[in-house]
Amino acid sequence: MIRGISGKRRGRAEKKGLSDARQRKTGVLGAIVLIVFASFIGIVTYQAFSSNSSHITVELLKERKSPVLDSNVDKPLPTFIKEQDEELSTASMIEEAQQSVYTIVTTEEQGSGFLYNNEGHVITSAHVINDSAFASVIAEDDTHYEATVEGTSEFMDVAVLYVPELDGFEPFPLETDQQYGAGEDVLTIGSPEGMQNTVTYGEIITTEENLLIEEYEYEDLYEISADIIEGSSGGPLISENDQAIIGMNAARTFGENAVGYSVPLYKLEEIIEDLIS
């Protein structure tokens, strides 16, 4: 079962070979939607059929706006999920990266995002933004910025925000050319369940995973072992070795042996540049 990680809705989907996702060729089978309301989260499941008839249930990792983000509530400290003896260089790298990672909040959704360039553009998952024209961008020091939505793409599930106040700030290094393989040590940074700057560790399990979740089409995803949950959507996937952002987190499976899915940055660059222009 795979779930998207921005938090309010969960989707059922299935690995699907996308011969040409951009063309959105006809033949995409209809989805059966079951809506279940539980706690504060509306659960939406989708069923689709893949070329090998295997099913996986997925959830997009967005969530409802969390009360911990209100200005009069103390923020939890950053959470690190790893054994203790962490190298100083890695800790320093994380501290630097966190300065370019933000919590993204709309009227109904919450996710994560990160600075893309030195012109004030922040990227996040399109399913976090949904149909919003504006979003709040919250920095690690609790500074709140108002962002306009420059554009979104259902293909590869990406949205571009513009924050004038961030114009001139340098982003954490981005790797937009290289494709990484299985076994690459990675870490994620995001705001799951309102906990800003949460860091989790793992590795790339497989590559080139294709998924169709709701209206969002994904191609050549990284499947990762790092734990990502609701609110992580749009946060960066970072290579520990290269100390650069290599992907954007989007979804996870359900179950005891849940895995996450991250959109490779090399697949996003052209889309992002088109949205900016």
Distance of CA 161 to the CA centre of its chain: 14
With tokens 């088109």, the residue in question is 274
Alpha helices per DSSP H over 77-151: 88-98, 126-129
> Is residue 73 over pLDDT 80?
no
| Exposure on the CB side of residue 177, measured as CA atoms within 13 A | 2
What is the β-pairing status of strands 41-45 and 101-105? unpaired
For the chain, give the mean pLDDT: 79
- Angle at CA 70, nearest 5°, toward 65 and 71? 155
Q: Domains (ranges, CATH) in the chain?
A: 2-61 (no CATH), 185-276 (2.40.10.10)
Q: What does the pLDDT look like over 12-37, one tens digit per residue?
A: 344 444 444 444 433 433 333 333 33
**So what's the pLDDT on residue 53?**
39
Confidence of residue 52 (pLDDT cuts 50, 70, 90): very low
Cα gap 277→107, rounded to integer Å: 26
> How many other C-beta atoms lie within 10 A of the C-beta of residue 156?
24
Return the H-helix or E-strand segment holding 162.
strand 158-167
Cα-based angle 228, 229, 232 (whole degrees, multiple of 5): 75
Query: Do 2 and 211 form a contact (C-beta atoms < 8 A)?
Result: yes
For residue 59, what pLDDT is reported? 65
Q: What is the pLDDT of residues 142-187, one digit of tens each?
A: 999 999 999 999 999 999 999 999 999 999 999 999 999 999 999 9
Query: What are the distances in angstroms from CA 56 to CA 15, 221, 232, 237, 259?
Result: 7, 15, 20, 22, 11
Structure pTM? 0.76
Out of 7-11, 19-23, 228-232, give the one with best mean pLDDT: 228-232
**Res 54: pLDDT:** 52
- What confidence score (pLDDT) does residue 123 get? 98
Q: How far apart are CA 214 and CA 177, in angstroms?
A: 28
What does the angle CA 61 – CA 158 – CA 120 come to, to the nearest 5 degrees?
Answer: 110
Encode pLDDT of 186-226 as tens digits.
999 998 877 888 999 999 999 999 999 999 999 999 999 99
